[in-house]
Amino acid sequence: MVRPYTITRGRTAPERDDLTLITVLTTNGEAADAALARGSRSGPRALQPEHRQILDRCRRPAAVAELAAALDLPVSVTKILLGDLVAQGLLTARAPLAVARAAGDGRAGTGGGAGRGAAGLDHGLLSAVRDGLRRL
């Protein structure tokens, strides 16, 4: 077992405070591929095995909580590693669609259109998902 402070190089808190459990991360294509091709060179920007695992998993969008579970690491340690990769330009972090829509829209809670409720959610889509789950 590797101690978390070893993985994070002694850091105990992430530099970014915008990474929540539901923040979605994806790799930045060519930059991530180039970093993975360089391997684990020494230096302050070297990729650790956990960094490489994160880049590999984030080829498809993944939430912070999913990544922490997949890596079998505490969420706080995962956030530190994710912050490293975002700072290097290898990952893109974005708020989930519903949160981003509410924050960027400026009209959260106004209904926002046909078939949409108070939170701006499409009730038709939610009903279709509910009905699909019931059929399982």
Residues 67-116: pLDDT tens digits?
999 999 999 889 999 998 998 889 988 887 655 455 555 544 444 445 55
What span, in angstroms and rounded, lies between the C-alpha atoms of 81 and 16? 11
What span, in angstroms and rounded, lies between the C-alpha atoms of 110 and 117? 8
Q: Which residue has the higher pLDDT, 111 or 13?
A: 13
Q: Taking the CA atoms of the chain, what radius of gyration do you get in angstroms?
A: 18
Range in 4-18, 59-73, 84-98, 119-133 with the lowest mean pLDDT: 4-18
Q: Which of 105, 108, 121, 91 is nearest to 24 (CA)?
A: 91
pLDDT of residue 107: 46
What span, in angstroms and rounded, lies between the C-alpha atoms of 25 and 115? 29
What span, in angstroms and rounded, lies between the C-alpha atoms of 48 and 41? 9
pLDDT at 2 over 80: no
What span, in angstroms and rounded, lies between the C-alpha atoms of 33 and 42? 18
